[in-house]
Amino acid sequence: MPFLPENIFLKIISGELPSKKVYETDQILAFHDITPKAKTHILIIPKVELKTAKEVNLENTELFGQLFLAAKIIAEQEGLDGYKLHMNVDEAGGQVVPHVHLHLLSADYKSNL
């Protein structure tokens, strides 16, 4: 599936598009997915523009770690005992929005992995 023609997450970060926020720091924003694939489906994104996880490097590894820390905190907030974390990387990997994002999904999510 090809990338969307624009990065809608930048519009969510700026407040131009609404979202149902569940967590926010200076560097991270998390909100409910508008097309959930599980009872709980939350997207966790960095507030800086990074197109794919292929952009991880020594200078931004802490930011990527913050995505996973946010997932842990949100899962506790949401009362999830077990959960799944999923990240698609690039168009060939199924990524649709051209902005790094981590999916936090409740255990009822069924994937074909």
Note the pLDDT tens digit of each residue in 64-90: 999 999 999 999 999 999 999 999 999
Q: How many CB atoms lie within 10 A of CB 75?
A: 18
Q: Output the CA–CA distances (angstroms, integers) from residue 14 to 21, 27, 71, in the order listed.
A: 13, 13, 21
Does 1 score more than 70 pLDDT?
Answer: no
Average pLDDT, the chain: 95
Residue 34's pLDDT is what? Answer: 95
Per-residue model confidence (pLDDT) at position 112: 60
- Residue written as tokens 């200076």? 26
What are the residues whose beta carbons fall under 8 Å from the beta carbon of 98, sequence distance 6 or more? 3, 4, 7, 51, 52
Superfamily holding 8-106: HIT-like (3.30.428.10)
Using one digit for the tens of pLDDT, what is the confidence trace for 18-44? 999 999 999 999 999 999 999 999 999
Domain ranges of the chain: 8-106
pLDDT over 90 at 111, yes or no: no
User: Is 41 marked active-site?
Assistant: no
Q: Which of 41, 86, 99, 101 is labelled catalytic?
A: 101
Percent of the chain with pLDDT over 70: 97
Q: In this predicted model, what pLDDT tens digit does every residue of 4-14 receive, in sequence order?
A: 888 999 999 99
